[in-house]
Structure 1
Amino acid sequence: MKLARRNNWPFVPSFFDSDVYNDFYNGNEFSPAVNIHEDEKNYEVELAVPGMKKDDFKVNVDDDVLTISAEHKDEKSEKEKNYTRKEFSYSSFQRSFKLPEQRVNVEKIEAKYNDGILRLTLPKMIPDQPKQRLIEIS
């Protein structure tokens, strides 16, 4: 017997689609590695995003789609006797995931950024909870 997953948002990968675990870089776009784990009470999402600050991230849920994005700009300048050197770096990404049919308690989602890893805890919910929220990172 073959099981099929229904995804009403075909452009957004489901939590458990194999393409969620894609390469660090997808063409020229930065795409951080993602680990997703499920236990009895929560879904745990981890993204490897070293070199950023917690203020660089935006995490939100809208209509059962979890979107994680970040933008980081860095400018360095050095002046010596005979030369001036300026370096600019810019990185950004956006990852979106269709939440599982067993919905997440949006009001209790937690996000923490520590040692280059962004960790989200998405508690499983009781039906009839709000579907939209901006999540702050601690």
Structure 2
Amino acid sequence: MNTYHPLRELGIPSRLLTIADALLRDNHGENRNWTPSVNIFEDESGYHVSAELPDVPPSDVKVTVRDGVLTLKGERKLEKKSDTTRYHLVERSYGQFSRSFTLPKDSDGDRVAAEFKNGVLTVSVPKRIEIQPREIEVKVN
């Protein structure tokens, strides 16, 4: 089975295409840092970060908050199927990742919650509850 390659139509031999792809792919995707895609949104309750982490076991994901910075770290490993398995093409990135985000001033970093479901990590950072000043009645004697 051959993977489509636009230069093949120009008559470039498959061997040259394979060599060119290998040079451009940086070690066939192995041991390379990658950056998962994230969405960040805000609602009335707080701030939410959703990170796409397919094939990353939840046990390999760490979420930390330190000095007002939320950090997501982990690793996606390329697992060989067997000693006889030969990959012909690896386009997905593998390796360690780290994403850090500065939390807004009104966020409560002490109440961060994280959930992992269907390959998506969702981190929720609630907003601080602002204490409203209350008026105190002054009694006259």
State the TM bucket, normalised to the shorter chain: 0.5 to 0.7
The aligned runs of 1:1-138 (5 Å cut-off) are: 29-78=33-82, 84-85=84-85, 90-102=94-106, 104-126=107-129
Q: Structure 1: which amino acid aligns with 2:115? A: K
TM-score scaled by length of structure 1: 0.59
More strand by share: 1
- Unaligned 5+ segments in structure 2 are 1-31, 88-92, 131-141
SS at match of 1:92: strand
Higher fraction of helix: 2
Question: How far is the alpha carbon of 1:107 from its aligned partner?
Answer: 2.8
- Displacement of 1:117: 0.7
Q: Which consecutive aligned stretches of 4+ in structure 1 deviate over 4 angstroms post-superposition?
A: none
Please tell me the residue identity of whatever aligns with 1:115.
Answer: N
Structure label with greater radius of gyration: 2
Q: Which amino acid in structure 1 is aligned with residue 108 of structure 2? A: N
Alignment root-mean-square deviation, CA: 2.5
Give the number of aligned pairs: 95
Alignment partners' CA distance in 1, 2:127 and 2:101 = 16
State the partner residue of 1:136: none
**CA distance in 2: counterparts of 1:67 and 1:37, whole angstroms:** 16
In the aligned structure 1, how far is the partner of 2:45 from the partner of 2:82?
Answer: 51
Partner SS state of residue 67, structure 1: strand
How many Å separate the matches in 2 of 1:66 and 1:114? 19
Q: Mind listing any 5+ residue stretches in structure 1 that lack a counterpart?
A: 1-27, 128-138
CA distance 1:109–1:50, shift in 2 (3 Å): same
